[in-house]
Amino acid sequence: MRPHIAYLLAPLPPALTEANSRFKTRIISGRRRVEDDDDEVQLQLFSKILLNLEKDATFDALHAGLPFKWTETEPYDTVNPFGDFRQIDFKALWTFDLPNDILLYINRHHRAHIPLGVLRSSPVTLGDMESLGPPVPPLLHPTLDSAMPCWKPQIQVDERNSVFIYRILRDFDYQWRHILRNNYNTITLRVLARAIIRLSTLDFEIREETGSRHGVGGEWVYITELPAWEPFRTDIVPLGDVHVIVCHSIQDGLSKAKKHIASQQSIAAVKTTDYTHKRLDYIILSVKHIVLCRAIGPYELEHTAPQPLFNGNPDVEPPSKLALDYLLWAITPAVSLVNTPLLSLPVEVQDIILGYASVGPVAAAKTGCLLSLGTPFLWKDGPLEIRLEDVRMDRHQWSPVESQLWFPESKVGITYRGRA
């Protein structure tokens, strides 16, 4: 039996919205396992619940009448489980979006929607719903309102860091692809953006599992799971001398950058700033794309062309090499350099020392990046290829070390282990 998933979206009362500005919509999630009921039967049931009701009574009627088992914990966003092979576990997704008075329906073949007002006024069928195309929304490439040629900075990134960090970022795109390939709200945007910056600056820990483990299965990241780490608290985040602007739209991010730089400049600063040597001012990060920009005058910015970053479709459109280069080059000045006498040793000796820094090679490679020591990581554990783990496997005392990436408050969902 494959379950139907339901989300019930309702506006928060004004008092609760003011108390916690992060949340403007209440999201209730539920599931229902059915034997042979098809989606048409489900829709007819929803129609019966809403028929002849007033709009104001919609939430109470759905919450009480829908045959779903509601979870106690309310998620901060909806999740679309359709779009890759894991979708086989689910039959359909129904989202009752009360703020927009819309019912959204998704299965493994397509998306469709219908105004809830239609369900309140007459019986409906699936044929009455308007098709929105495939189950995953198409990626929209940004178009910028600028006649100025795009900035093309001279990018140089450390090979040691790029070999290590780019692999982790690409695996992040893969593990959280069910979130990244879909549309998401502002909280999720800030959650994802914070993870990207933390991973890029090596602001995470690696927990090494060396013992035995039996009977603990399941995916490291489940297809309906939301990230559990904390989001950025604002849309403009200082990172050393640079500001990260988190936005859904690159054009909106550029507008915020222009307003921000105007608000930061006094008349004295305008007169004394040397714009000819400015390296970078802003990272415009929509998660799906990245743009870098810098001031070339007191109220004027130049920017790079948008580059595709994390779209949750690594097989078809992985993060571009230039996008990752932009990201690493932009955040490098914000990473504190550690001066160590080991830098004077031959690189071969540095590699030997790093081999004693941890049980597994992944943690040792991170140490090498932080201290600028050793050769670029080969992603090997002796003769074994280090691979991303999808599921928790049984372990024995002779199993290769398992390297789990963690933020202080939550797992990242990325785990590595050597495989033959």
The strand pair at 236-239 and 205-209 is best described as unpaired
Q: pLDDT by residue (tens digit) across 80-103?
A: 999 999 999 899 999 999 999 999
Q: pLDDT by residue (tens digit) across 128-161?
A: 999 999 999 998 888 887 777 899 999 999 999 9
CB 381 within 8 A of CB 400: yes
Per-residue pLDDT of the chain (420 residues; tens, 9 = 90+): 788 999 999 987 665 544 455 567 899 999 988 766 689 989 999 999 999 999 999 999 999 999 999 999 999 999 999 999 999 989 999 999 999 999 999 999 999 999 999 999 999 999 999 999 999 999 888 888 777 789 999 999 999 999 999 999 999 999 999 999 999 999 999 999 999 999 999 999 999 999 999 877 889 999 999 999 999 999 999 999 899 999 999 999 999 999 998 887 654 354 455 555 566 799 999 999 999 999 887 778 899 999 999 999 998 899 999 999 999 999 998 888 888 999 999 999 999 999 999 999 999 999 999 999 999 999 999 999 999 999 999 999 899 999 999 999 999 999 999 999
**Structural domains in the chain (count):** 1
Instruction: Say which amino acid occupies 76.
Output: Y
301 token code pair = 């910015």
Domain that holds residue 76: 3-133
pLDDT computed for residue 262 by the predictor: 84
- Alpha-carbon distance 418 to 121, whole Å? 60
Separate counts of helices (H) and strands (E) for the chain: 12, 18
Task: Provide CB contacts within 8 A for 265, sequence distance 6+.
Answer: 273, 298, 299
Residue in 235, 238, 239 with CA at minimum distance from that of residue 253: 235
Q: pLDDT by residue (tens digit) across 11-24?
A: 876 655 444 555 67
pLDDT computed for residue 268 by the predictor: 39
Within-domain flag for 53: yes
379 Ramachandran zone, left/alpha/beta (phi>0; psi -120 to 50) = left
pLDDT computed for residue 143 by the predictor: 82
Residue in 288, 278, 293, 296 with CA at minimum distance from that of residue 326: 293
Instruction: Calculate Rg over the CA atoms of the chain.
Output: 25
Within-domain flag for 67: yes
Within-domain flag for 261: no
Within-domain flag for 319: no
Phi, psi (degrees; rounded to nearest 5) at 113: -145, 165
